[in-house]
Chain A
Amino acid sequence: MLWSLFFSQLFNGVQLGMLLFLLASGLTLVFGIMNFVNLSHGSFYMLGAYFAAATLAYTGSFLVAGVVGIGGTMVLALAVERLALRRLYARDHLIQVLATLGLIMFFNEAVRMIWGSQPLFTAQPAWASGSISLGGLNYPTYRLLIIGAGIAVALGSYLLIHRTRIGMLVRASSTHPEVVAALGVNARQLNTLLFSVGAGLAALAGWLVGPIVSVQSGMGDTVLILALVVIVIGGIGSIRGAFFASLMVGLVDTFGRAYMPQLLRGFLERTVADAAGPALASMLIYLFMAVVLALKPGGLFPVKR
């Protein structure tokens, strides 16, 4: 019994990690390669979830919902980048923080106006709603699907970045943007592409997470902070770092939540321990990040400049 709890928590941790990776991979590219502090990344996750939930309610097809969720968010991201954010790439980080905070406010309020402040609940697709037996442990198929999606994106982005021409340009412009531009590559187009692919990955995460959380305004904010922690621990700009840091943060968070109350019960009253445990577990991640940064200011997998 104890071990089955442990293993299901392990899977939960990996699943959370994969979800974070979907967000962090796009974010780390935008942060690292474009040197742009994009706090509105969480909004694209939220928009993806809303678009998908609305489409699911309308068509009833989970896959169509995904296509519309991701596609719609990418188009919107493209428009936002063209209209506003592109002008901020060369500005101070401070101005970028401010502008994207404004965007967060706008999108949070916009979805509240369109879909109301009640959270939306969506159903898992019938073909993935059961559970799979893994050596005596029953684990929900849907959560395995999320883990699979994360691994697929990790593999896909690894191949994209290390085996294709576009990936080569991305790698090159992360270290030597001037040289790449001087060789005649349209750096603006590359940035726009990167930005909307990042937003698409965030929307993918939002679509997948729809059935297991409540889709509501502001859902992107908390996840965004976790994704920021991930990319800082992993080293800003490093997809590999984002992958391992996502797993670490996912596991630390899940195990902290599961076992912290039990640990605290050793020296606190039961009710106090049960209440304080999850919050202290949340602190653990930030503590972890502070320790990593104090020892290695560039993160665990710093990108060489």
Chain B
Amino acid sequence: MFPETFHWRSPRIWLVLLLLAGLLLMPVASAALGTSFYLSFATRVVIYAIAATGLNLLLGYGGLVSMGHSLFVGLGAYVVGISSFHGLTNGWVQLAITMGLTTVVATLTGLVSLRTRGIGFIMITLAFGQMFYFLAVSLKQYGGDDGLQVEQRSVFEPLPSLDNKVALYYIALGVLVLLMYAVWRTVHGRLGYVLRGFHANERRMLAAGFPQLRYQIVAYVASALPCAVAGMLLANLTSFASPSYLSWQASGDLILIAVLGGMGTVIGPLIGSIVLLVLEETVSKMTEHWMIVLGPVILLVALLSSQGLWGALLQRTRARAPSGGDRS
């Protein structure tokens, strides 16, 4: 989606449009089937796609493997949970608190984490994630280990109430599309090129005089903010904020979604989110031991492909149409 140059005859444009049309019609299909399960499932897909799109900016374009981005998902969820607990349900105020808090936390943790490289970076982001996980567990007055029930959903006047599941879905979808547009603009702008430059050849970029930390910290904070918004939406969907949102396995899931769909592509995280959640759902319907199937699948994905599903598709269509434009 959103390549630098459009080729209307390229099949993948149509695939993307088809996908978006499908997502737009999802509530209609769900209503026709007479069950709200598919709608809340689709909302979950979109929310995970939002978080993974954020992470993808750092992971796919910057080549920085963060194992701690569930921290920010949890942050957003807990802002909704705690402020609703104290009677503050104005969604815009919650959004402002979330953005402010996330920017502060991401800047501080980013400044420390970005001092390290490679394995060190993975480990320290993991450590920060665990730190906030245990902080959430220690918040005894807000449920501690058991998590916090969100009694009152956020109220985004003049948007329709989030108690309406269709409204929540379309708001999440709107956020996702806006975010994908923003990411597309970003990665085809200066920040995106500098980030990819540092990923490809750090020494050359430093020699060319680019301030590495300044660009990477901006990317780190920018990748944290969508995760926090996803957390807010998740808390509104499940009416729950739990320490498990911050667990390191949750961070692993985000990485998995980004890699599965195709890192460093704008639409990859959405595809990864759809594929992973649908796979989880179908296999868990067949057997309660769904992880015994999913585990080896993940291992195979890692062994066989580094481009993800969308990346593999891009390569095939590009082989057919050499003028296919920039990989996006």
Contact = CB atoms under 8 A, between A and B. Distances in A.
Interface in B115-142: 115-116, 118-120, 122-124, 126-128, 130-131, 134-135, 137-141
Contact of B141 (A225, A272, A280, A290): A272
Interface string B277-303: 000000000000111101111110111
B11 to A, nearest CB: 28
B144 interface: yes
A87 B304 CA distance: 10
Interface string B247-266: 01100100110010001000
Contacts of A236: 119-120
Interface string A184-204: 000000000000000000000
B131 A283 contact: yes
Given A112-B289, A228-B126, A286-B134, A105 B298 contact: yes
A108 B291 contact: yes
B306 A95 contact: yes
B140 A272 contact: yes
Interface residues of A, number: 51
Given A84-B299, A91-B306, A276 B127 contact: no
Interface stretch (A11-19, A63-71, A96-104, A143-151): A96-104
Contacts of A112: 289
A93 interface: yes
A103 B241 CA distance: 28
A113 B287 CA distance: 11
A298 to B, nearest CB: 8
Contacts of A282: 130, 134, 137
B291 A293 contact: no
A94 interface: yes
Interface in A220-243: 221, 225, 228-229, 232, 236
Interface string A276-289: 11111011001101
A257 to B, nearest CB: 12
Interface string A256-296: 00000000000000011001111110110011011001100
Contacts of B131: 283, 286-287, 290
Interface of B: 59, 65, 67, 112, 115-116, 118-120, 122-124, 126-128, 130-131, 134-135, 137-141, 144, 248-249, 252, 255-256, 259, 263, 289-292, 294-299, 301-303, 306
Given A97-B122, A106-B299, A232-B120, 9 more contacts: A84-B303, A93-B118, A105-B294, A112-B289, A221-B249, A278-B138, A283-B134, A283-B138, A290-B127
25 contacts: A35-B119, A87-B303, A93-B118, A94-B255, A96-B302, A97-B255, A98-B259, A102-B298, A102-B302, A103-B299, A105-B295, A106-B296, A106-B299, A109-B290, A109-B295, A112-B289, A225-B126, A279-B134, A282-B130, A283-B135, A283-B138, A286-B128, A290-B112, A293-B116, A297-B120
